[in-house]
Structure 1
Amino acid sequence: MTISTASTDRTSARRMVGSGTRGGTGVVYDPLTGLTRQAGEPMPAGRIALAAEDVAALPEVHPGELGAGMPVSVCWSPIVRCNLACPHCLDDKSVPELGRGERAEVAARIAASGVLGVDVSGGEPLLIRDLPTLLDVLVGSGCAVSVTTNGTHLPRRAEALARRVDAIRVSLDGPDPKRHDRWRGEGSFAMAVAGIRAAIAHGIPTQIQTVLMRSSAPGLPELVELADRLGVHGVTVLQYLPFGEGASLADAEEVPDEDARHLVGVLGATPVPVRLRTRADAAGFTVVRADGQVWRNAPDSAAIAALRPLSGPVSLAVAERDGSA
């Protein structure tokens, strides 16, 4: 759900999206926001450049409503290692990581699957030395590609990423060092902000992502103000999901969807687009883990469906038993 629109200078620029056809309907996948939008008429498969305002004008659609077997997009977490230790992390740090050669095979399988978009996440994906090679495989197949990062390594890697990715999503848990570093460690706020500035300086469309928690919710208005000052293209507010290491904090930190909508709604007109991703929005989302296993969010986003190995494109296809998108 998008709450507001940004000023013209942030919406008129052209940027890359993934396009294709699902269930006889043309769709556009926006790597900046992770949203799927309905284009109506069938669309050719591949990456295309569209004006941001034209993308935003297309109606949002949940991929599960398209009646297609293949997901529109996937999240690939090729690494569980991270230079930070966030207590609300979605990752299961016990998952083994594949070696370099096996990781390349996973990239090739995702690239050949026909998905329109891939968000490369983690762990911290910027710790992967061969990340540029993996991104080249994905982009070369026509996927719109984003990278989700804690931002701390962006200053040194933004230049290389600018030639390879269509968007960067940087995680922030507060509008200042005190509130952000509480969750992610001393000095992490300053490094993340430096990373955001580097990404923008290299022309990468950049989004701030923040996990909505009871503890951090009061800082949301100031975070939106910070996003405006930094010049990012938007803020996505993510509802807390009880996965991975963060499952133990769910009872204390989860915000009901109704309260989350209110918190975002009372922001009113904002200088950058603010989007709330509810737990319903995350239902059925497909994830490729660091060990090459595929899982999918359950319909209520409170659990994951059974694992299966990524042996080929059919492994990503939505099975009826998944009850997902």
Structure 2
Amino acid sequence: MKLMQTPRSMDLSITGRCNLRCAYCSHFSSAGDVADDLPTSEWLTFFEELNRCSVIDVCLQGGEPFVRSDFFELVDGIVKNRMRYSILSNGTLITDEIASFLKASRRCNSVQVSIDGSIPTTHDAFRGEGNFVRALRGLQFLLKHGIQAVVRVTIHRQNVHELERIAEFLLEELGLPEFSTNSASYFGLCRKNSEQVQLSAAERSIAMIKLMELSRKYDGRISAQAGPLAEARLWRGMEQAAAGNAGNIHGGGFLTGCGGTESKLAVRADGVIVPCPQLPDIELGRINEDDLKEIWQTHPELRRFRKRQEISLGDFEFCYGCEYVNFCTGNCPAAAHAILGDAWHPSPDACYREFKKAGGKLPEDAI
């Protein structure tokens, strides 16, 4: 596939600050790992370069984007430069004024809000007392003004047995059209607190069974790009392909699990350009100092990432003898980098064979 001349979209960490310190946050390696925000002018100048590069949309994240006092000015700069935007938020700082402003901008694609329980006790266990109520209030303001609100549920050891009640709360009581799920990862504070938050193989199995059941019950209104539900669907496809009951999996047998660097890049809160928010230590350049188009087209690290899909899983000792090797795509390079220090290796966390070795089982109707 021919490479685009410039990235289509950008993930922008407009701040390293956050009003919360969630135990499974993927953006902090320690509670004090924050830096001063870039001046407003630096972001506004960079937005002009994004416009010249024909970037279509940006995702504002952090930290917590709404901690910036100049947030409205930054959004105005995005709109002025003919881009659309989405926001990743914990929801607690969203006010009626903010939601009204987002609606009036006419360029907001969506706002993701994190809701991790059906009751305060569950949500607040790792996010802090009072934040369930605050997040719901922010969510209600978004809904009031017709902003597309995307609720994300992070599944961890404290809420894995509450999934049915969470689905009822979000889809029936709040009347949301859908919600998405993932699970506590291997990044940032989550890695530091892994024993408290990361699912065991048995807990992953419980989550898979329940989420598959709920997905059927609610006619597919539960989505996932990562975590137990996504893994159940992916591994079901691998089982079927291995048994000859399905066609080949696209990219199977090679490290094709992520194609992010074919269409987007990210910027850290300090202005350093990186391949992905989850690969913050692979530095490509700096905004307003290095030419974005040149980085995109010529940087050796990006060229290496784009060659990743040519690496056969059969070349890795880790994959020797695996019956699924020709149907696997190696999953997330950032997870492999976090666990092994090597983004050009299959991720052990998303290995179906390792999951089965640890006693994990797919739902029977997923096979």
TM-score normalised over the length of structure 1? 0.69
Cα distance in structure 2, aligned partners of 1:270 and 1:160? 33
Greater mean deviation of Cα atoms: 252-261 or 122-131: 252-261
Which residue of structure 1 lines up, in the alignment, with residue 41 of structure 2?
Answer: 101
- Secondary structure of the 2:113 match is strand
Q: Which structure has the larger Rg?
A: 2
Which residue of structure 2 lines up, in the alignment, with residue 266 of structure 1?
Answer: 213
Which residue of structure 1 lines up, in the alignment, with residue 131 of structure 2?
Answer: 188
Cα pair 2:11 2:276 within 8 Å, conserved: no
What one-letter code is carried by the residue in structure 2 that aligns with 1:269? K
Which residue of structure 2 lines up, in the alignment, with residue 307 of structure 1?
Answer: 283
**Whose relative contact order is higher, 1 or 2, with alpha carbons under 8 Å and at least 6 apart?**
1
The alpha-carbon deviation at position 103 of structure 1 amounts to 2.6
The alpha-carbon deviation at position 226 of structure 1 amounts to 2.1
- Is 1:287 the equivalent of 2:266? yes
Cα distance in structure 1, aligned partners of 2:8 and 2:208? 25
- Secondary structure of the 2:95 match is helix
Greater mean deviation of Cα atoms: 158-167 or 183-192: 158-167
Which residue of structure 2 lines up, in the alignment, with residue 200 of structure 1?
Answer: 143
- Secondary structure of the 1:159 match is helix
Which residue of structure 1 lines up, in the alignment, with residue 275 of structure 2?
Answer: 296
- Is 1:220 the equivalent of 2:168? no
Cα pair 1:147 1:168 within 8 Å, conserved: yes
- Is 1:73 the equivalent of 2:17? no
Which residue of structure 1 lines up, in the alignment, with residue 119 of structure 2?
Answer: 176
- Secondary structure of the 1:76 match is strand
Cα distance in structure 2, aligned partners of 1:219 and 1:138? 39
Cα pair 1:287 1:294 within 8 Å, conserved: yes
Greater mean deviation of Cα atoms: 95-104 or 122-131: 95-104
Cα pair 1:175 1:223 within 8 Å, conserved: yes
- From the superposition, tell whether residues 127 and 304 of structure 1 become closer, same or farther in structure 2 (CA, over 3 Å): closer
- Is 1:150 the equivalent of 2:90? yes
Picking from 159, 162, 167, the partner of 2:103 is: 162
Which residue of structure 2 lines up, in the alignment, with residue 320 of structure 1?
Answer: 303
Cα pair 2:88 2:112 within 8 Å, conserved: yes
- Secondary structure of the 1:152 match is coil
Cα distance in structure 1, aligned partners of 2:291 and 2:130? 41
1:5-33 per-position Cα deviation (integer Å, ceiling 9, x unaligned):
xxxxxxxxxxxxxxxxxx57xxxxxxxxx
- Secondary structure of the 2:193 match is helix
- Secondary structure of the 1:154 match is coil
- From the superposition, tell whether residues 269 and 113 of structure 1 become closer, same or farther in structure 2 (CA, over 3 Å): farther
- Secondary structure of the 2:50 match is helix
Which residue of structure 1 lines up, in the alignment, with residue 355 of structure 2?
Answer: none
Picking from 234, 247, 250, the partner of 2:194 is: 250
Cα distance in structure 2, aligned partners of 1:304 and 1:262? 34
Which residue of structure 1 lines up, in the alignment, with residue 179 of structure 2?
Answer: 235
Cα distance in structure 1, aligned partners of 2:156 and 2:303? 33
Higher strand share: 1
Higher helix share: 2
The alpha-carbon deviation at position 70 of structure 1 amounts to 4.1
Q: CA RMSD in A?
A: 3.1
- Secondary structure of the 2:88 match is strand
What one-letter code is carried by the residue in structure 1 that aligns with 2:154? V
Cα distance in structure 2, aligned partners of 1:227 and 1:73? 30
Picking from 17, 21, 33, the partner of 1:85 is: 21
Cα distance in structure 1, aligned partners of 2:208 and 2:275? 24
